[in-house]
Amino acid sequence: MAIFKGSGVALVTPFDKDNNVNYDMLQKLIDFHADNGTDAIIIVGTTGEGSTLSMEEHAECIRQAVAMTKGRMPVIAGTGSNCTETAIKLSKDAAKDGADALLVVTPYYNKATQKGLKAHYTAIAKEVDVPIIMYNVPSRTGCKIEAATGAELVKSVDNIVAMKDATGDISYAADIMHLTNGDIELYSGNDDQVIPLLSLGGIGVISVLANVAPKETHEMVTSYLEGNHEKARKIQLDAIPLIHKLFCEVNPIPVKYAMKAIGYDAGSLRAPLSEIEPEHAKELVAAMKEFGLKTV
């Protein structure tokens, strides 16, 4: 049984005026997604600024998300680190606190070899009894899970079952689907490539776009999976200008601003991230309106 099928939101972490986690707003965001068809909550990942949260904040965000979601959709916790022991601790804590699955990014900065990646993921998986999604985003980490490595991990480790593919390389997705005979839960990590990845056997997206357009992102994926390819294609193509603007600066700078624009003030960003440039903000809001989103 898949962790989820459809649209999983890479949820922003809301901060208050003192730059502390705003749990009241977190509840509002989770309710917003539950009401608009989002199929999974991904908490404290890249978009959730997990790398600038303290260990205590990281754990509390997961605990709160699990409690707030109340079983309405799976909660997937980002628990990756460039230190294997730290990733194990984060993963064990998240599993203990009720996360339904873990999203584990490759160890950034250290740039592990493929042998090292196999050892890293295997060591984490042995310490938890929940499913693991490998997160392959070499543009941010400088470290890529080669298709053969990912396939070997899925075949040899029972609870490594999925991959979030943010390589931007459709040939890569084809390779890993071929090497696993399709026996992998493959999620797009790029909002502009959801339909191409689904066409190769993917089952969903872990999405930045879904923060501001949850209903549309859900409908794009479910329409495709239900055979309405024309509707899914139209949503994908209509969303392209907005997706581009959501990545006009490094994620999550634009999407944090976009949340305010739709009436959910998720607060500022933690250093070293900076606020969006004014010209980019104007272009982003214009793209949101063009896509049909209501702004305040």
DSSP secondary-structure letter at 21? B
Q: Kindly tell me the sign of the dihedral angle through the C-alpha atoms of 196, 200, 11, 80.
A: negative
Beta partners for residue 121, in sequence order: none
Q: Residues 135, 172, 187, 224: which is the catalytic one?
A: 135
DSSP secondary-structure letter at 191? G
- Residue 171 gets the label, from left (phi > 0), alpha (psi -120 to 50) or beta, of alpha
Q: Residues 118, 121, 144, 164: which is the catalytic one?
A: 164
Which residues, 6+ apart, have CB-to-CB distance to 204 below 8 Å?
4, 5, 6, 7, 8, 39, 40, 187, 188, 221
Beta partners for residue 105, in sequence order: 135
d(Cα 49, Cα 47) in Å, to the nearest integer? 5
Residues constituting the chain: 296
- Whether 215 is a known active-site residue: answer no
Q: Where are the beta strands (DSSP E) in 87-244?
A: 101-105, 132-136, 160-165, 185-188, 204-207
- Whether 135 is a known active-site residue: answer yes
Beta partners for residue 102, in sequence order: 77, 132
d(Cα 195, Cα 32) in Å, to the nearest integer? 24
Which residues, 6+ apart, have CB-to-CB distance to 7 below 8 Å?
37, 38, 39, 40, 204, 205, 207, 210, 214, 217, 218, 220, 221, 222
d(Cα 114, Cα 105) in Å, to the nearest integer? 14
SS3 at position 26: helix
Please identify every residue annotated as catalytic: 135, 164
